[in-house]
Amino acid sequence: FNKKTNITSDPTKTTTTSILEDDSTNILIHNVPISFVSGLIAGGCISLWGCPFEFTKIFSQILILVSNNSNKIDKNLIPKSMSQVIRQIIKSEGYKGLYSGYSYHIIRDSVSSGLFYAIYETVKFNSRNFSNELREAYPNLALSKHVTDVLSIACAGALSGMLSWISVFPIDTMKSQYQRDVINNILRSISNEKKLDIVKPEWKFPTRKMYRGLGPSLFRSITTTVIFFSMFEYLMSNIV
């Protein structure tokens, strides 16, 4: 880093002031939008591949419940394997059926991924800077760089997973509601019943009902992101 020298009012003392803080601010200002846009694009691209598999998985799980609890559908007609499930979706809804709820899916994945990495980089960067300043101000403080780095990564991972998921959870709820109705129509087609008209959930300000099931989702998101980033940063620092 470049350094500049300032002469204090006392001519016998010369202080060297680093512009580390300015450089850190510049790095943060440039890194956050880049992280957000990169995550946004990556999440959108992944949704092209992820949506059909997620919808197929949800349909397969519902089929298990239907086969065990419903007497309206002949169990011999219920798809068993993944390939049979996919063929049934295409037979009932066409190839576009694999992308049921895609408009919600791509917004959820792109926005959550953008926020996820932007929040992670911001929290990690600021917490590491804060811990470095803390060690410089209190040199006798029993806080090693290794410990503070581990805590910074864990906090950044937990916050990024929590805040990004809270932000898009209502969108995920709308996606689930729409896909539920599509699956209901597929089941009706299997039992030779008339399909019902499907009305897409309207975009609206999030309500309390749209956050049902948030607790377990947050617990999963926080734990997985803490473990993921802890392992990722450790391997990047010690192996790569």
Q: Per-residue pLDDT tens for 140-183? A: 776 677 778 888 999 999 999 999 999 999 999 999 999 999 99
pLDDT at 100 over 60: yes
Cβ neighbours of residue 217 closer than 8 Å, sequence gap 6 or more: 165, 169
Instruction: Kindly report the backbone phi and psi dihedral angles of residue 177, in degrees, each rounded to the nearest multiple of 5, phi listed first.
Output: -65, -45
Provide the percentage of residues in the chain whose pLDDT is more than 90.
Answer: 48
Is 56:89 a contact under the CB 8 Å cutoff?
yes
pLDDT at 240 over 50: yes
pLDDT: which is higher, 43 or 17: 43
**Radius of gyration for the chain, computed over Cα atoms and rounded to the nearest angstrom:** 25
What is the Cα 135 distance to its own chain's centre? 33
